[in-house]
Structure 1
Amino acid sequence: MLKLRGFILQASYRVVSGSAGTRVPVIHIYGRLEDGGTFLVRDNRQRPHFYIRTSDVERASALTSQQSVALEKRTFNGEPVSRFDMETPTDVPGLRDRLHDVGVDTYEADVRFAIRYLIERGIKGGCEIEGEATPGEGITWVFDNPVLRPADVRIEPRVLSFDIETDGKGERLLAISMYSSEIDEVLIVDGSDRPMPEKATRCVDEYSALNAFCERVQQLDPDVITGWNIVDFDLTALQKMAQRLRHPFSLGRDAGAIRIRKAEGYFGSGQASIPGRLVMDGIDLLRGAFVRMDDYSLDAVAREVLGEGKAVAGDVRDRLAEIIHNYRHDLPAFALYARTDARLVFEIVAKLNVIHLAVARSQLTGMTPDRVAASIASFDFLYLSELEKLGIVAPTVRSSDSRVYEAQQGGHVLEPLTGLHRNVWVFDFKSLYPSIIRTFNIDPLSYVARPQPTDDLIETPGGAFRREPAILPRVLDELFPRRDVAKKQGDEVASHAIKILMNSCYGVLGTPACRFYNPALANSITGTGREILLWSKQWFESAGYTVLYGDTDSLFVRSGMPDADEARALGKELAAKLNRDIAQYIGQEWRVTSKMELKFEKLYLRLFLPRARGSTRGASKRYAGLLNAADIDGVQFVGMEVVRRDWTALAKQVQRELYHRLFTDQPVDVYLADIVGRVRDGKLDDQLVYKKNLRKDTEEYTATTPPHVVAARKSTQPLGRLISYVITTAGPEPIDNIQHPLDREHYVIKQIKPVAEPVLATLGLDFEQVIGDSRQMDLYALLGDR
């Protein structure tokens, strides 16, 4: 009998043959032990099941021979339920759908079998395992039908990054490179007697390379296998090669083939399952952690994060030809390129802490680390775990559609007072929406659809809620102090994980794909946020201050003070006073304890609020502010061209410099005239590239053909999602196939002028006069974009 603690990496099941021809589903839980070993829990005692109202049992019995079991559990409305047990998980959807067809509602009939196993035991990431165990083959301990309990377990995941090189069609394997803290090696497929470069191993054929790769994986025993686009390309290509070569291609800790689920939709990513190991694609890890990049190619991300790109001598966009050439004629360069790719991925995910973040999010929600980015599923696990404790069942999800159809209020935006302002306070409500949920007890379980006049409820703009403590407010009450502790301890990973979870609570409630979808809940949160924002605006105005702008959870207030240090000190005092007053207001108006907290966030020495293009009204969610007069990077931009991917590097450079000059009282006219002259002289051609994503295949653009699609159709290279192109005298052309001279005047009119005009208008200057081109007419405005 052993009692060990570990962290769950993977939860799945397999169906085996039982007695008398029965089929028995067996839960498989794989993970790492605290002592560094590995474990597998196998449990054949669990049965797939779901619930219906007990009042519907008679109607349901006409559709199945399965017997129902009456339970003490209840629906949200307090109705008793009965449970249907099925033989295997695949038997559930058929009966569920038949019941729906005759109008019988089901409950939790879509919850994954292995996930339900964890939910019912309250396990989130860490667990204590107690039971009989035997040494496994490739796994330290195998437990059969043990007792699992929740436990707080911390592990350091072992990570292996790999990358493959193939021929132009992705059909013939040239090399497999691997990188981790223990290995830096490339397996090169080469049947000759050429000398192998440093850290390269010869494999006489593709079969030998697959053999060697599988052996390395088994020896290194990683918890996480990562790479760049490894599911849709690397693993998919290797699986096809293995099938062609009849190679077993065993990468798991346990017997079983790799399973790959193809990407759905143009922007989807595929998923891969290897027994006992996590497959976590680098691109998905960044996106799941909300790390925003203009370009998600490995070269671009590596340069942004590490300051180092791919090991190529020529243009990285035409790397295929160089790879093939080096494979044939320069093996050291080929090996370096392959090894560098694997290393870059490893170092990117390590530096950004995205794997550790996934593990931390798993500990919070219960979802396995490879699925924590699925916000609805993570919220589902968390909330269902709490319902399980209360003996309440939740509705089955009927829709996978995450689009919003019913009217929902967004965050409230105050119209900006346009122009240039000095010493402006910025106040933010700390985690506004989670704080509203906590304060007003907003929760699927506490919501009252049809309030009675005699009910003592918390009335919000979107709906009414009971006063008895509910699930979400309690969960958030626990998370807030945990995040504060993490921040004080400098644990950015834990703090970020908690922030992501807290912020997701609002979004999922307004999404039809969530089982707890209810527009009234989302509108209660945003509607209350609007009231709080407007009340705070009035509070400042009553104190004699001018509110220049506000958006959802923030207010920009003119201090009217010439001294910046004195303004900062007063800003902190005002935030503390408003918090006291708003707590009193909320307590009197709703009879609840306020969890709202306004913070003095920063002081802009200068703030510019522009007009919307072609309008006299102020532009929402667009501004530039100066924090530090001594540094051009002291200018912060929100919603402006400098932070948008679809503007050129030229426009961004010009905008950044112009606002720094405006805010520090430096002349702009000489700089602007010089930059236009340099563009026209061809000295800034490297800054004229546009980058824009394709949102579907190029042939699917039929109603309109945007410039990046025109360019994509002219490309000679395999298309990715991001298209890089320039405007020439013949229109848009991809940078890999530029056939005509650049139309530099286009960039003067369409890139420099739009970012310059708001600054020039503030100074009473005219663009054409400043650049010394008073004869110029904006023909592009007359003819339209090219």
Structure 2
Amino acid sequence: MQNTPLKGFLLTRNAIEKNGRTYIEFWLSTPDGPVKVTTEQQNAVMFIAWKDEQAACSVLKHSSISVKSTRLKLKTFTQDLVCALYFTTTSAFYRARDILKQAGITSFENDIRLADRYLMERFVCGGAFFTGDIETSDLDSKAYIAMKNGRLKPTEYIPKLTLLSLDIECSLDGELYSVGLSSAEYKKVIMIGKPQHSEEWIDWVADERSLLEGLISHVMDFDPDLIIGWNIVNFDFKILTERAKKLNIKLRLGRDGSEVYWRESRNDSNLAFMSIAGRVVIDGIDSLKTATYQFDSFSLENVAQTLLGEGKDTQDVDNRIAAISHDFLHNKMKLARYNLQDCQLVERVFAKTNLIDYLLLRSQLTGLELDKIGGSVAAFVNLYLPKLHRAGYVSPNRPVNGGLASPGGYVMDSFPGLYKNVLVLDFKSLYPSIIRTFKIDPLGLTEGLLEPDNAIPGFRGALFSRDKHFLPDIISSLWEQRDQAKKQQDAARSQAIKIIMNSFYGVLGSGGCPFYDTRLASSITLRGHEIMQTTAAWIESKGYKVIYGDTDSTFVWLENIDSIEQSMQIGKQLEKEINQLWREKIQQQLDLPCFLEIEFETLFSTFVMPTIRGAETGSKKRYAGLKYQPNKPSELVFKGLETVRSDWTKLAKEFQPTLYSMVFDNQDVSAYLLDVIAKIRSGECDEQLVYRKRLRQPLALYTKNVPPHVKAARIADEQNTLLQQPLRYQNKGWISYVITLDGPQPIEYVTSELDYEHYIDKQIRPIAEGILPFINVSFEDITSDQLGLF
């Protein structure tokens, strides 16, 4: 029975093999519930040059791999015509790829998954119209519609997805105690133990087997589209699948009753992959990083405290595990509430950050799966490759050696000092606007080199076609959509588009991208250098001083201007004049429309550009200023200085804003500085003198250079060994420690007095010396009398 076209959003995709043939199974969320669509038979495909066809077919036949070869009019970037090699199964495709590589035969586009190719070639991103034959057998007993012979085509559709938050509690050895589940109007904790008079949201079960069976039952009954959690793939589902395997239970959480698939990365033990038919598992940590959030620590406690102002009382993992085990034995109600709290905190973090909205929009714009980590290269390939095929080309391969490094963004040598009235002029999305203006594009580079007489010059020998390109148009489309999102105050859509647009430069300069070419990335960054230097020269020709420039920002000191109002007027005038100059320059020199746009948005009424520590040279990417805000209090802004660094003490982070505010307000700082030093020496600030630093590799790998935090970690684990406590710091993680008279010591095992002179010399002095010279005040002069007393 053929159904009318339906509309849905892609949840999962997977190639399946049956009877020597390959099909693609898609699960979609629709207004009428979940639908499973299985396509007609699909062939996996890769490409080779015509000249290699006979040799390739011969070596594959010798290896008993069935292949169909068809010569095409498509060609490589080196102008070699190609033929397509078709395989009936993906297993044959991957075997053939390895055999051809061993035989020294180059194949192209051999790393694109069959399901991804099916979607991208049809321009399906996220939303899809689909048709197919409804399978009526046993339909009434299923919670979904199944279709065969399905076909998909693109549409825009944003679904309302059902979401379930999951968290487990277990012993140090992974023995399950409980599983928590929650959603907007649903909460459940499945707890091993004898039934107690308790909350109705607790299900009491006898053992781990019953717990896992209960989990399967509750998930299938709730039937979520998304399962979310914190480190949910690498921890929760790893433990769940391991315990299910140990107990010989099939963890059937798929919408069709299929098992959870989980595997560890072959290259990285800290990375895992999983799939559940018809459901997407989304990790909060990975999703926040994908959406460019940054935190000192991505622990649930720290993120929840930062975003929500709530969380749990401790980040002490070992004590927490000990407490969990204790509560499992003696206070199961407390453990159940703790388990549920974790689930609900994750829910609230997702809601606060609009993560699901962001991931849906990213998928709709680029075709990336909802659970895809990072994905900049994949997004670019999804958007670019089908257009490239229609232009007559196949994709090149990723560089074998990772590619050559391209120049970074422009950073000007700064002029250190304390200034009044500093304007900041920013180019709006500089790199995307350079791509649009100068037609920087992989196909454009290939075609430009073939027709150099009318090409647009780039850098490092690059020439770009004026009319044969795709990336500038892709950027233009995204740009327009972002402007529309801003007008509609759609923050999630605007952020998604911004991240995608800004990622394209990095993609072109990444050795992990098949379209990598150092001429592409260099033509973006070096053009940026040229634009920034030219802009600075124009500004200085008008009598103003440029004191710093960084990637897309120019800092302008209005030396003889005292009025805020006049400073604002000059900023607006400079914006207008610089934009006009760029339009005229690019039109006259290259006969191109200009999409560069500089904006004046920031006025610092007071601004400090420090020197490099211990030198007279101006620093880079480090400054502070008092940002003027009409009709609002001025905002103290720090960039790259101690107060925004995670590895400085709480004392330093509180000292710096106070000191800078006093300097900016022309207050005498001597008494304050002496008071801080006195309190340090008297022990009043001890709780603020803790360092917290990440161990970025296993402890045993620190051999040549052993920094203080590593020494502290080793002391901690030596003590843990003596006390028969779990070793905490052997495999990365965070360490909190203090500097004592006997050196660094972990906060859990401090045996010596704190070295207060260390903190004065290494935390207070550098901050003070970063600004005091600009007001002709010496740290030594202020503190010499007090220092002489000790």
The separation in 2 between residues aligned to 1:176 and 1:446, in whole angstroms, is: 54
The answer to whether residue 26 in structure 2 is matched with residue 26 in structure 1 is no
The separation in 2 between residues aligned to 1:590 and 1:353, in whole angstroms, is: 43
The separation in 2 between residues aligned to 1:648 and 1:631, in whole angstroms, is: 30
For structure 2, list consecutive stretches of 5 or more residues without a partner in the other structure: 62-66, 721-725
Normalization by structure 2: what TM-score? 0.93
The answer to whether residue 571 in structure 2 is matched with residue 574 in structure 1 is no
Amino acid at match of 2:357: H
The answer to whether residue 565 in structure 2 is matched with residue 562 in structure 1 is no
The separation in 2 between residues aligned to 1:264 and 1:638, in whole angstroms, is: 39
Match of 2:457 in 1: 459
The separation in 1 between residues aligned to 2:710 and 2:374, in whole angstroms, is: 30
For structure 1, list consecutive stretches of 5 or more residues without a partner in the other structure: 18-22, 779-786
Post-superposition Cα deviations, 1:585-614, rounded to whole Å, max 9, x if no partner, equal: 111122211110000021011110010112
The separation in 1 between residues aligned to 2:289 and 2:482, in whole angstroms, is: 22
1:322 is displaced (CA, Å) by 2.0
Distance change in 2, residues 1:357/1:49 (3 Å): same
Distance change in 2, residues 1:737/1:159 (3 Å): farther
**2:188/2:340 contact within 8 Å kept:** yes
The answer to whether residue 483 in structure 2 is matched with residue 484 in structure 1 is yes
1:61 is displaced (CA, Å) by 2.7
**1:768/1:776 contact within 8 Å kept:** no
Amino acid at match of 1:188: M
1:103 is displaced (CA, Å) by 4.1
Post-superposition Cα deviations, 1:502-523, rounded to whole Å, max 9, x if no partner, equal: 1111001111111001011000
1:617 is displaced (CA, Å) by 0.9
Match of 1:3 in 2: 5
Match of 2:621 in 1: 621
Give matches, 1:464-543, under 5 Å: 464-543=463-542
Give matches, 1:535-684, under 5 Å: 535-560=534-559, 561-628=561-628, 634-684=635-685
Match of 1:783 in 2: none
Match of 2:334 in 1: 333
Match of 1:40 in 2: 36
Distance change in 2, residues 1:449/1:670 (3 Å): farther
SS at match of 1:694: strand
The separation in 1 between residues aligned to 2:240 and 2:371, in whole angstroms, is: 21
Give matches, 1:145-160, under 5 Å: 145-160=149-164
The answer to whether residue 759 in structure 2 is matched with residue 752 in structure 1 is no
1:280 is displaced (CA, Å) by 1.1
Match of 2:188 in 1: 185
When structure 1 is superposed on structure 2, of 688-697 and 361-370 the one drifting more is 688-697
**2:443/2:468 contact within 8 Å kept:** no
**1:198/1:332 contact within 8 Å kept:** no
When structure 1 is superposed on structure 2, of 730-739 and 532-541 the one drifting more is 730-739
Amino acid at match of 1:97: D
When structure 1 is superposed on structure 2, of 195-204 and 596-605 the one drifting more is 195-204
1:464 is displaced (CA, Å) by 1.3
Amino acid at match of 1:100: K
The separation in 2 between residues aligned to 1:31 and 1:691, in whole angstroms, is: 45
Match of 1:723 in 2: 735
Normalization by structure 1: what TM-score? 0.93
The separation in 2 between residues aligned to 1:631 and 1:321, in whole angstroms, is: 49
Match of 2:147 in 1: 143
When structure 1 is superposed on structure 2, of 51-60 and 23-32 the one drifting more is 51-60
1:201 is displaced (CA, Å) by 2.0
SS at match of 1:261: strand
Say which of 235, 245, 257 aligns to 2:237.
235
**2:398/2:516 contact within 8 Å kept:** no
**1:266/1:697 contact within 8 Å kept:** no
**1:197/1:331 contact within 8 Å kept:** no
**2:69/2:86 contact within 8 Å kept:** yes
**1:632/1:656 contact within 8 Å kept:** no
User: RMSD of the alignment, in Å?
Assistant: 2.3
Amino acid at match of 2:769: E
**1:197/1:335 contact within 8 Å kept:** no
Say which of 200, 205, 208 aligns to 1:206.
208
The separation in 2 between residues aligned to 1:480 and 1:611, in whole angstroms, is: 38
1:451 is displaced (CA, Å) by 4.4
Distance change in 2, residues 1:597/1:632 (3 Å): closer
1:317 is displaced (CA, Å) by 6.3
Match of 1:738 in 2: 750
Post-superposition Cα deviations, 1:503-561, rounded to whole Å, max 9, x if no partner, equal: 11100111111100101100010111111111101110111111110011110011232
The separation in 2 between residues aligned to 1:653 and 1:198, in whole angstroms, is: 47
Amino acid at match of 1:547: V
SS at match of 2:514: coil
The separation in 2 between residues aligned to 1:562 and 1:607, in whole angstroms, is: 14
The separation in 2 between residues aligned to 1:564 and 1:264, in whole angstroms, is: 60
SS at match of 1:511: coil
The separation in 1 between residues aligned to 2:57 and 2:245, in whole angstroms, is: 46
Match of 2:379 in 1: 378
When structure 1 is superposed on structure 2, of 100-109 and 44-53 the one drifting more is 100-109
Post-superposition Cα deviations, 1:88-137, rounded to whole Å, max 9, x if no partner, equal: 11222332333334443212111111111111211111100122223656
The separation in 2 between residues aligned to 1:724 and 1:118, in whole angstroms, is: 48
Match of 1:127 in 2: 128
**1:106/1:395 contact within 8 Å kept:** no
Amino acid at match of 1:218: M
The separation in 2 between residues aligned to 1:505 and 1:425, in whole angstroms, is: 29
SS at match of 1:8: strand
Give matches, 1:229-378, under 5 Å: 229-262=231-264, 268-310=270-312, 318-371=319-372, 373-378=374-379
1:265 is displaced (CA, Å) by 6.8
1:448 is displaced (CA, Å) by 4.3
Distance change in 2, residues 1:755/1:261 (3 Å): farther
**1:768/1:774 contact within 8 Å kept:** no
Say which of 48, 53, 57 aligns to 1:52.
48
The separation in 2 between residues aligned to 1:290 and 1:769, in whole angstroms, is: 44
**1:628/1:635 contact within 8 Å kept:** no
**2:459/2:519 contact within 8 Å kept:** no
Match of 1:781 in 2: none
The separation in 1 between residues aligned to 2:45 and 2:789, in whole angstroms, is: 72
SS at match of 1:413: coil
Match of 1:432 in 2: 430
Amino acid at match of 1:41: V
Amino acid at match of 1:363: Q
When structure 1 is superposed on structure 2, of 406-415 and 296-305 the one drifting more is 406-415
The separation in 2 between residues aligned to 1:57 and 1:572, in whole angstroms, is: 63
SS at match of 1:722: strand
1:67 is displaced (CA, Å) by 3.3
Amino acid at match of 2:755: D
SS at match of 2:453: coil
When structure 1 is superposed on structure 2, of 318-327 and 144-153 the one drifting more is 318-327
Match of 1:782 in 2: none
SS at match of 2:374: coil
Post-superposition Cα deviations, 1:380-424, rounded to whole Å, max 9, x if no partner, equal: 21211322333421123364x7x6x52421111111111011111
**2:440/2:464 contact within 8 Å kept:** yes
The separation in 1 between residues aligned to 2:486 and 2:495, in whole angstroms, is: 9
Match of 2:64 in 1: none
Distance change in 2, residues 1:98/1:264 (3 Å): closer
Say which of 14, 23, 34 aligns to 2:16.
14
**2:568/2:603 contact within 8 Å kept:** yes
When structure 1 is superposed on structure 2, of 298-307 and 35-44 the one drifting more is 35-44
The separation in 2 between residues aligned to 1:91 and 1:139, in whole angstroms, is: 34
Post-superposition Cα deviations, 1:551-583, rounded to whole Å, max 9, x if no partner, equal: 111100112321112211221122011101111
**1:40/1:139 contact within 8 Å kept:** no
SS at match of 2:59: coil
